[in-house]
Amino acid sequence: MIQKFNSVTSKTINYPLVVVPRSDEQIYTSHGGKGKMLGFLSQNGFNIVRGVILSDTVHKEFLDCLPLKEAQRTSTHKILTSCIRKELITGLNSLGIKNRRLIVRSSASVEDGTAHSFAGMFKSISNVGIDKLDLAVGRVYSSISNPILVRYAKFNRIDINRIKMAVLIQEFIQTEVFGVLFTSDPVFRDQSKIIIEYNLGDPEALVSGSKTPTTISINIRPHIDFNLKMLDASLGNLHGLNESQIQSLMTIVNQSLKAESLLGVPVDIEWGIVGKKDYIFQIRPITTR
């Protein structure tokens, strides 16, 4: 049964996500913006990447052991206690990804909300081995002191000392196609259009802006189900995508519209395709701030 977002806080996180420590499993305020959104997606049958949500209580314990400024600036101290590390390894093992390459991503309390996104300001570390988890988590924690983030927070009257940091530790997916999709034109605020941007290969080229993406604008309203006929009429030839990847893209569009319907607001979705599998990596409300 589909769960509405406003009731998700009373539900248990579903596979393929595990919360560490397990005692925080139903405390959604401890999962951060990305973690809460991914938990919502897992409950509603979206295809997301396997991973562990490291609760922000772990961050609090870390801060309690070090002065705040030192904790924000260091990534070399021991971050995870032996108990938390053991539970984390158990969680990764239960998902079958303990020996896979991982991606370690921020899930701060201020991220991905309806008012502010903080997009790209916190640290993400790709292609991490299990032996480097402490270092990667520390780098995510220390990204709170990123000067751009500090200025952005100050401009929006957000106290960085009150930011709580959960961390996502997920399987690292080497994508064949990576993109973003907006269910409403974010520039002109036109809800009759969806905007798709994508590059072939891994996310870095699109995220860093080092490569100009293929950009697609589709007049989709008042349609509900996106289909191949609409795709052909709107786009003609999709640059670099084979038939299987086009089918996956259609699934992603429909999933994005479903997410918008469930959340009740236009959304910005990061997605990827590997072989015949499509993934949603992240979802957030579209903001202009």
The pairing of strands 165-171 and 177-182 is: unpaired
- State pLDDT tens for residues 9-20: 546 788 899 999
**Arithmetic mean of pLDDT, 12-32:** 89
Residue 97: C-alpha distances to residues 18, 91, 93, 103 (Å): 12, 9, 6, 11
Across residues 193-208, what is the average pLDDT?
Answer: 82
How far is residue 253's CA from residue 223's CA, in Å, rounded to a whole number?
A: 12
Which parts of 117-266 are beta strand (E)? 124-128, 165-171, 177-182, 193-200, 214-219
- Select the more confidently predicted residue: 5 or 135: 135
8 A C-beta contact, residue 76 and residue 180? no
Q: 289 or 33, which is more confident?
A: 33
Domains of the chain as residue ranges with CATH:
5-171 (3.30.1490.20), 177-285 (3.30.470.20)
pLDDT tens, position by position, 218-250: 887 655 555 555 555 555 557 889 989 988 998
Angle at which helices 32-43 and 243-263 pack, to 10 degrees?
A: 100
pLDDT tens by residue, 102-157: 999 999 988 876 666 687 788 899 999 999 999 999 999 988 888 889 999 999 89
Q: Rounded distance, CA 45 to CA 188, Å?
A: 31
Q: Kindly state the DSSP code that residue 185 receives in the 8-state scheme.
A: B
The pLDDT of residue 201 is 86
